[in-house]
Amino acid sequence: MSEKIKKIGLLTSGGDAPGMNAAIRAVVRTAISHGIEVIGVKKGYDGLINGEFRELKTRDVSEIIGRGGTILYTARCEEMHTQEGLKKAATVYDVLGLDALIVIGGDGSMKGAKELSKLGVNVIGIPGTIDLDMNCTEYTIGFDTAVNTGAEAISRLRDTSSSHQRCSVIEVMGRHAPYIAYWCAMVSGAEEVLVPDRVDEKGKNEVIQQVLENRSLGKFHNLIIVAEGVGGSQELAKDIEDITGIETRATILGHLQRGGSPTAIDRMHASVMGNMAVEEAVKGNRNCIIVFNKGRYEALDMDEALSMPPKDDGGLYDVIKVLSR
């Protein structure tokens, strides 16, 4: 029988993602239902190292389930890449008398968590990033909202693009990952999508040929989605205009896609994952990440979770191409 958990820390780390607040609410309320004290750490690992925290009570998380961003603030912490920083973080954990640290964040934040676990910190991870770029899970909190925000923006761009019979090049977030780009392209009916694994100079030339071919097939405007990891959307727009003579505009959606009220899907995953993270700690599970695969939530051992191979695109690219004609 595991020892009873009395006190846990909670932080959000890396880029904020819509739904992080819903996960914070779920963690706090589940913990309190077990009589566990929750220490909210501000600004991610930075706040842990520098001692910025406060107790979170049930009313502190009222009215936040539908709010974007994170009430705990977040940061990308350089000190966590050093042994000194890691040791400081582990010392604060001990001094605070924490039995577990729940970390809501993406791959980088989980790698930091793994390093902390080697120093005796019991870390439970909740996947939170709009990029969906964690190999261990089919869902990361924030992805659905980011795609919906992207799709909404692209739909507005479609209106103006079709009115002027222009070509629109739209760059979406996602760091090196293709998922936001694939989903935005599919749900917006884009003709072409450029993602890091598939693009080279020839790829860009093919896009230009595609624009011309689609015009000859009777299309009067064009939508091209570019993943952030490919970049160069302004240059691509200029090349398309110079070579084809078709008026072309580039739009970079950028951080717009990180904000906004989380969708129902994000609130749902965040609530279940937040609840489960605490339940796993109560059961005595140590150093794991809550994942969602094949329709089920589970707690995966952190080492195993972080050594899984990348997912393939599930044939999305080919479908986008077939539907674009």
Binding residues for ligand F6P, rule: CB under 6 A, are 15, 76, 106, 129-131, 173-175, 228, 258
Q: Which is nearer to ligand F6P, 67 or 175 (CB)?
A: 175
Closest approach of ligand F6P to the CB of residue 236, in Å: 18
Q: Which is nearer to ligand F6P, 27 or 132 (CB)?
A: 132
Q: Which is nearer to ligand F6P, 85 or 106 (CB)?
A: 106
Count Cβ neighbours within 10 Å for each residue of 145-183 and write b for 16 or more, e otherwise: bbbbbbbebbeebbeebeeeebbbbbbbbbbebbbbbbb
Q: Which is nearer to ligand F6P, 27 or 134 (CB)?
A: 134
Q: Cα angle at 283 between 280 and 286, to 5 degrees?
A: 60
The candidate with the shortest Cα–Cα distance to 143, out of 260, 17, 268, 25, is 17
200 noted as active-site residue: no
Q: Which is nearer to ligand F6P, 7 or 175 (CB)?
A: 175
Closest residue to ligand F6P in the complex (CB): 15
Closest approach of ligand F6P to the CB of residue 130, in Å: 5
Among 16, 46, 107, 131, the active-site one is 131
Q: Does an H or E element contain 185, and which?
A: helix 179-188
Count Cβ neighbours within 10 Å for each residue of 211-220 and write b for 16 or more, e otherwise: beebbeeebe
State the greatest distance between any 2 C-alpha atoms of the chain, in Å, as a whole number. 73
Q: What is the DSSP letter of 56?
A: -
Closest approach of ligand F6P to the CB of residue 219, in Å: 30
Beta strands in 94-204 (DSSP E): 100-105, 123-127, 167-172, 192-194
Closest approach of ligand F6P to the CB of residue 172, in Å: 9
Q: What is the DSSP letter of 70?
A: -
Closest approach of ligand F6P to the CB of residue 304, in Å: 23
Catalytic residues: 131
